[in-house]
């Protein structure tokens, strides 16, 4: 069933560390051999062995219209035929900046980059330059790309500075990063009482999609907004995953809280390398060449990548798009919960817009510790049982899932049929 993937994986491991260009793709969390894909069409992927799958990873979020959308491909091909990159301003970057500032009222100006990591790294440097402060606050279980000072885990006990989670990151680089518990307003109050005037920025995943799927409480988000305003800290919503995924105005539109800066990625590139950061005009004015905070990029605003992003966003922002996507995603999680219930397997699922979380526990988790208490082994068995039956879920119990506009009744029925057998298998185990 996976012969070609196994052969390609063995060869790849000889010349690429772990055989992959991003660690989560290596299946280390779920075990087994990563699947090598040959092509994607709509909601479906085909691997090198010819196996077909309903895809719920969508390249970790970008493929919200489905794979190989014919109109997007046509626009990308036409853009490529006019030249791949100029390293000079183009009309397309203006069109993207105007679209983003119209869609997100908190974003008064925006700068394009080539990845989510670059967007968050740049936004945090900008916040430190704007405030003249150095302390950064993040939350355990949230991932904001692989910048040195963000590869940090909570120190021993709350209100202690982070320790590096990665080799190669000197302790002094994480010594100004404070790691708090997600969804704990009291801890935020305590941190601001102690460090408020030293905090340059708080960076938040406004729906945590890197510890599976955890929604913030309204009180948590509003506490962050109130305290950042009170003490002059920059509130950054990292919407790389939630931007144009949970709704037409991102998570800030869902929760009705405006950050000072927003970071974006994934959907805004439609599968091509585009990231962005933007927000309050007075903060963005600190960026080179206008202000003293340096930031740059050879392929920032690349015309072909921006074309893919614009073609995607125009369709995502069309009337009714999110109503339909949210309904499909809600039907998916309801159907899976129903199948699990029939099999008597402890399971819960939840969704927001086109993003969802699956949990082998009775109710969706509301904190990092509750996520860690989920039955990871049960998820891993479920993952492989679904994979063998042609359903591709994120290869980790700690990742969110994604639905596209190309997912319909046929894909849901195929998924429920596979889940019926997978849950029965889990029950037997
Ligand atoms: P990239 O540098 O991978 O484009 O974006 C980093 C990033 C920043 N912020 C958030 C909220 C993110 O989710 C990400 C990247 N997400 C992971 C999936 N959990 C990308 C997949 C991967 O690392 O291969």
User: Catalytic annotation on 195?
Assistant: no
pLDDT of residue 267: 98
Which of 27, 241, 355, when mutated, tests ligand 1's pocket best, judged by the most ligand atoms within 8 Å of its CB? 241
Which of 16, 116, 212, 395, when mutated, tests ligand 1's pocket best, judged by the most ligand atoms within 8 Å of its CB? 116
Any ligand 1 atom below 6 A from CB of 55: no
Which residues lie closer than 8 Å to 342 by C-beta, 6 or more apart?
A: 420, 423
pLDDT of residue 428: 80
CA of residue 144 to ligand 1 center, whole Å: 7
pLDDT of residue 156: 63
CATH of 71-316, one of 3.40.640.10, 3.50.50.60, 1.25.40.10, 3.30.200.190: 3.40.640.10
From the list 56, 138, 266, 398, the catalytic residue is 266
pLDDT of residue 62: 98
Q: Which of 264, 170, 262, 185 is nearest to 227 (CA)?
A: 185
Predicted TM-score (pTM) of the model is 0.98
Any ligand 1 atom below 6 A from CB of 368: no
Sorted by where each begins, the domain ranges of the chain are: 3-68+319-428, 71-316
Task: In whole angstroms, give the CA distance from residue 401 to residue 386.
Answer: 14
Any ligand 1 atom below 6 A from CB of 143: yes
From the list 238, 260, 392, 398, the catalytic residue is 238
In which order are the strands placed within the sheet that holds 401-402?
A: 348-352, 355-359, 401-402
Helix (H, G, I), strand (E, B) or coil at 411: helix
Strands 391-392 and 52-55, bridge-based pairing:
parallel
Q: Which of 4, 99, 94 is nearest to 51 (CA)?
A: 4
From the list 53, 56, 143, 182, the catalytic residue is 143
pLDDT of residue 429: 75
Any ligand 1 atom below 6 A from CB of 239: no
User: Catalytic annotation on 143?
Assistant: yes
What is the maximal distance between C-alpha atoms in the chain?
64
Q: Using the 8-state DSSP alphabet, how is residue 22 labeled?
A: S
For residue 98, how far is the Cα from the chain centroid?
Answer: 23
Instruction: Return averaged pLDDT per consecutive 10 residues of the chain, 429 residues in all.
Output: 96 98 96 98 98 98 98 98 98 98 98 98 98 97 95 72 90 93 97 97 98 97 98 98 98 98 98 98 98 98 98 98 98 98 96 98 95 94 97 97 98 98 88
Task: In whole angstroms, give the CA distance from residue 139 to residue 200.
Answer: 15
Any ligand 1 atom below 6 A from CB of 120: yes
Any ligand 1 atom below 6 A from CB of 240: yes
Task: In whole angstroms, give the CA distance from residue 215 to residue 213.
Answer: 7
Which residues lie closer than 8 Å to 157 by C-beta, 6 or more apart?
A: none
User: Catalytic annotation on 138?
Assistant: no
CA–CA distances in Å: residue 2 to residues 150, 212, 387, 393: 36, 27, 11, 16
Taking domain 3-68+319-428, whether its CATH number is 3.90.1150.10 is answered by: yes
Task: In whole angstroms, give the CA distance from residue 146 to residue 64.
Answer: 24
Torsion sign, CA atoms 336, 338, 344, 348: positive
């Amino acid at each position: 069933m996976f012969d070609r993937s196994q052969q390609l994986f063995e060869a790849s491991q000889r010349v690429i560390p772990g055989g992959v260009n991003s660690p989560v793709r290596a299946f280390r969390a779920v075990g087994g051999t990563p699947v090598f894909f040959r092509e994607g069409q709509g909601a479906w992927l085909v691997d090198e062995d010819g196996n077909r799958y309903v895809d719920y990873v969508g390249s970790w979020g970008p493929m919200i219209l489905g794979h190989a959308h014919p109109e997007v491909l046509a626009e990308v091909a036409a853009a490529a035929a006019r030249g791949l990159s100029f390293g000079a301003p183009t009309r397309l970057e203006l069109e993207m900046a105007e679209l983003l500032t119209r869609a997100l009222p908190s974003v008064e100006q925006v700068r394009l980059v080539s990845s989510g990591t670059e967007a968050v790294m740049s936004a945090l440097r900008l916040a430190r330059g704007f405030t003249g402060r150095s302390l950064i606050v993040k939350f355990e279980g949230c991932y904001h790309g692989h910048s040195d000072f963000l590869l940090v885990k909570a120190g021993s006990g709350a209100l202690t500075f982070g320790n590096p989670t990665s080799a190669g990151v000197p302790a002094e680089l994480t010594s100004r990063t404070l790691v708090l518990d997600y969804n704990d307003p009291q801890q935020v109050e305590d941190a601001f009482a102690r460090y408020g005037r030293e905090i340059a920025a708080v960076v938040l995943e406004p729906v945590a999609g890197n510890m599976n799927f955890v929604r913030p409480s309204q009180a948590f988000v509003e506490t962050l907004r109130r305290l950042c305003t009170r003490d002059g800290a920059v509130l950054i919503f990292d919407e790389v995953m939630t931007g144009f995924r949970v709704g037409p105005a991102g998570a800030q539109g869902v929760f009705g809280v405006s950050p000072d800066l927003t970071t974006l990625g994934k959907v805004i590139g439609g599968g091509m390398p585009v990231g962005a950061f933007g927000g309050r005009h007075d903060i963005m004015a600190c960026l080179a060449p206008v202000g003293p905070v340096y930031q740059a990029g050879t392929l920032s605003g690349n015309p072909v990548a921006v074309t893919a992003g614009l073609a995607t966003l125009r369709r995502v922002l069309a009337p009714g798009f999110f109503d339909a996507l949210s309904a499909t995603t809600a039907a998916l999680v309801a159907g899976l919960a129903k199948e699990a219930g029939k099999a008597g397997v402890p399971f819960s699922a939840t969704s927001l817009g086109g993003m969802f979380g699956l949990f082998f526990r009775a109710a969706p988790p509301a904190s990092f510790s509750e996520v860690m208490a989920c039955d990871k082994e049960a998820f891993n068995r479920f993952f492989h049982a679904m994979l063998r039956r042609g359903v591709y879920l994120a290869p980790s119990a700690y990742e969110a899932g994604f639905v596209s506009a190309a997912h319909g009744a046929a894909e849901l029925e195929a998924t429920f049929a596979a889940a019926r057998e997978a849950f029965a298998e889990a029950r037997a185990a």
